[in-house]
Amino acid sequence: MDEDTIIRVQVTRRAMLEAGTAAAAILVTGFAQTTQAASLPDAEGSLTQMAVTLQVNGHGHSLNLDPRTTLLDALREHLALTGSKKGCDHGQCGACTVLLEGRRINSCLTLAVLHDGHAITTIEGLADGAALHPLQAAFVEHDGFQCGYCTSGQICSAAGMLSESRAGMPSYVTADLAEAQPALTDVEIRERMSGNICRCGAYPNIVAAIRQTAGLPS
Amino acid sequence: MRAFTFERAGSIGQAAVSAAKPGAKVIAGGTNLLDLMKLQVETPSQLIDINRLPLDKIEDTQVGGLRIGALVRNSDLAADQRVRVRYGVLSRALLAGASPQLRNKATTGGNLLQRTRCSYFYDITIPCNKRSPGSGCSALGGFNRMHAILGASDQCIATNPSDMAVALRVLDAEIETVDAAGNTRAIPIADFHRLPGQTPQIETALRPGEIITAVVLPPPPPGVQLYRKVRDRASYAFALVSVAAVVETVGGRIRSARLAFGGLAPKPWRVPGAEEHLVGSAATASSFDAAATTVLTNAAGHGGNDFKIPLARRTLHAALTAVTRT
């Protein structure tokens, strides 16, 4: 496969994802309305879509959503931001990690309607134009992934983790809780990143990428 | 997930009135509630969002304790300098629970109300007295490795999964609430969680519509604080056994001792007799063993969790050894 083919494949894949998102939204809406109307003795109010404005990656998006819509589904299915991944959908894997007002959360375990007006940063919002975020560049340099499915969650989580560390937040392995600025050792990085599972087992390289981004000696 | 209506509470009073309606549930961090709603273990017809209420402060009390707002996130509570320095057992317990992402969302009030992680409770196709009263307990005679060895009943052997609550138990915290009529009360943590008995579906002393507004810590007790958690992996797993200990040792003798246990029972577990046994004793292995024997007098395994009895003994031994080392 030559380089042109690879690029064409990538473009086609993205176009397919975006087209697929629109098609999926129609299908989901139709299905949801049918089941709601059938299953609820009193459907008044339950079919009401709620207006929500999300500030995603610096841009305001006004959406009308079923209140059941998770933040992750709002990002993926309604805003076509498919960088945040759905792994377990139960807050156990971390693939859906995004930054909410700068703090990392599992976007699968919260509702979009809980976040009207809130600022959300996804993996798509980390780079500065064509320049990768330092964590993205470090993950590439250190091969911090194999299949890549957990990677956007790992990188968003690492961004949140480095902010927490700079703010002096302790972890379970911090020896002295009274210490205002616990040092970010490899043991600390591993504990602080334990909310992100990598089935390929790229952990040593993920730690190396984070260590480099944090300015720690390799 | 079943459909529900969504209401954003504008005041604590309004939230309590709305929460008293049948089928209504309060949502704060939502990390456990939404998980259960996706599986239709929880099927509220209305959600009351209290996240914008002013319950997110940690304040000093006049007597030298702390009042922690119900909406203070677990990560912020663990990182608060006053908690780190004066209530290290609470900071450690919080940091031992869940993942950083979950702790950034999970709240103080919500943590106290989280449900058991019994896998039968989570599977709506299988009998469970807690989820569906009268249907039977599948964990008795089932896969019960994570289940209770103390305080259980023939109806339910589920454990309370919280680490935070174990630390609050050892610190004698009180839970402040308000109800739809505006009445407030303070519930000692010892009385907050209920044992299953014949009604495992009733887990707390909260009445319908009653909302947690704060958790109050008395001044820190004297002594060294420690939270020791034993689990199946090094991080991000529920406790098999955990011990919260606050022990004061002078000249090799124990002057005061408080112990609370997680992973063993349907509520954070404390045995006053074991603490009394330690007071005045030399900080030695035989004293620790005697305390463990008192804690485990009524312990009963159910097959898969028999190992918790010797594990609890050894974990307590290790915790007391660490906390009396000066």
CATH number, residue A185: 1.10.150.120
Asked whether residue A140 falls in the same domain as residue A87, the answer is no
Residue of B nearest to A37 (CA): B3
Which residue of chain B has the CA closest to A197? B236
In chain A, the number of structural domains is 2
pLDDT at A15: 47
- Looking at A82, A98, A125, which one is the last position of a domain? A125
Going along A71-139, which residue ranges are E strands? Answer: 97-100, 103-106, 119-121
Of A47, A169, A195, the CB nearest to B102: A195
The span from the CA of B193 to the CA of B162, in Å, is 11
Query: Cβ contact (<8 Å) for B38 and A110?
Result: no
Asked if A53 and A61 count as a contact pair (C-beta separation under 8 A), the reply is: yes
ipTM confidence score? 0.97
Same domain as A116, residue A177: no
Which among A96, A125, A154 is the end of a domain?
A125
A27 is a domain residue:
no
Closest Cβ opposite residue B100 in set A45, A104, A180 = A104
Return the axis-axis angle of helices A151-166 and A203-213, rounded to nearest 10°. 40
Task: Provide block-wise average pLDDT over 10 residues at a time, chain B (326 residues).
Answer: 96 96 98 98 98 98 98 98 98 98 98 98 98 98 97 98 98 98 98 98 96 98 98 97 98 98 98 97 98 98 98 98 92
Is the same domain home to A116 and A172? no
Does the residue A191 lie in any domain?
A: yes
d(CA A140, CA A212) in angstroms, rounded, equals: 12
Same domain, A114 and A172: no
Interface residue B3 vs chain A (CB under 8 A): yes
| Interchain proximity A178–B6, CB inside 8 Å | no
Residues of A in contact with B107 (CB under 8 A): none
**pTM score of the predicted model:** 0.92
> Over its length of 218 residues, how does chain A's per-residue pLDDT go in tens digits?
344 433 343 444 444 444 444 444 333 333 333 333 333 334 444 458 999 999 999 999 999 999 999 999 999 999 999 999 999 999 999 999 999 999 999 999 999 999 999 999 999 999 999 999 999 999 999 999 999 999 999 999 999 999 999 999 999 999 999 999 999 999 999 999 999 999 999 999 999 999 999 999 88
CA distance B277 to chain A (A): 30
Q: Are residues A142 and A205 in the same domain?
A: yes
Say whether both A109 and A61 belong to one domain.
yes
The partner residues of B258 in beta bridges, in order of sequence, read: B246
For B177-202, give the DSSP string. EE-TT--EEEEEHHHHBPP-TT-TT-
Angle between helices A134-141 and A203-213 (to 10 degrees): 140
Q: Which residue has the tokens 């375990």?
A: A109
The reply to whether A117 falls in a domain is yes
Residue B148: C-alpha distances to residues B132, B159, B190, B240, B266 (Å): 19, 5, 18, 10, 7
Count of beta carbons in the 10 Å neighbourhood of residue A162? 19
Q: Checking phi first, is residue A168 left (phi over 0); if not, alpha (psi -120 to 50) or beta? A: left
Residue A218 is predicted with a pLDDT of 80
Quick check: A169 and B38 CB within 8 A? no
With the C-alpha atoms ordered A173, A176, A180, A182, is the resulting torsion angle positive or negative?
Answer: negative
Report if residue A3 sits inside a domain. no
Structural contact between residues B58 and B68, judged by C-beta atoms closer than 8 angstroms: yes
The answer to whether the CB atoms of B49 and A161 lie below 8 A apart is no
Q: How far apart are CA B271 and CA B251, in angstroms?
A: 25
Q: Which of A94, A125, A156 is the last residue of a domain?
A: A125
Residue B91 contacts A, CB cutoff 8 Å: yes
What tokens were used for A190? 């591993």
Search chain B and give the residue with CA nearest A105: B101
Residue where the block lists tokens 């209530």? B87
Do residues A105 and A139 share a domain? no
Q: Are residue A182 and residue A146 in the same domain, yes or no?
A: yes
CATH number at residue A76: 3.10.20.30
In A, minimum Cα distance to B94 occurs at A172
The alpha carbon of B37 is separated from its chain's Cα centroid by a whole number of angstroms, namely 21
Other CB atoms within 10 A of residue A90 CB: 16
**Domain residues for A168?**
134-213
B256 forms bridges with which residues in the sheet? B248
Residues B23, B42: Cα–Cα separation, whole Å: 10
* Contact yes or no for B96 and A172 at CB 8 A: yes
Q: What values do phi and psi take at A99, rounded to 5?
A: -100, 125
Q: How far is CA B310 from CA B260, B293, B314, in A?
A: 17, 10, 6
pLDDT at B223: 98
Q: What is the DSSP string of B107-165?
A: BHHHHHHPPP--HHHH-TTS-BTTTSTTS-BSSTTS--TT--SSS--SS--PPP--SHH
- Determine, yes or no, domain membership for A38: no
Q: Is residue A178 part of a domain?
A: yes
Burial class (CB in 10 A: 0-12, 13-18, 19+), B248: middle
- Write down the pLDDT at residue A47: 57
Instruction: Judge if A109 and A151 occupy the same domain.
Output: no
Q: What is the DSSP letter of A131?
A: B
Residue A15 domain flag = no
Residues in chain A: 218
For residue B321, CA distances in Å to A175, A190, B280, B287, B309 come to 17, 27, 16, 11, 19
User: For residues B32, B34, B37 and B41, what is the CA-based torsion angle, rounded to 10 degrees?
Assistant: 0
Are residues A139 and A203 both part of a single domain?
yes
**A-chain residues within 8 Å CB-CB of B234?**
191, 194
Beta-carbon separation of A113 and B49 below 8 A: yes
Instruction: Evaluate whether residue A79 is within a structural domain.
Output: yes
| A91, A100, A169 ranked by CB distance to B102: nearest | A91
Q: Are A173 and A107 in the same domain?
A: no
Residues A66 and A115 both lie in one domain: yes
Report the largest interatomic distance among the alpha carbons of chain B, rounded to a whole angstrom. 63
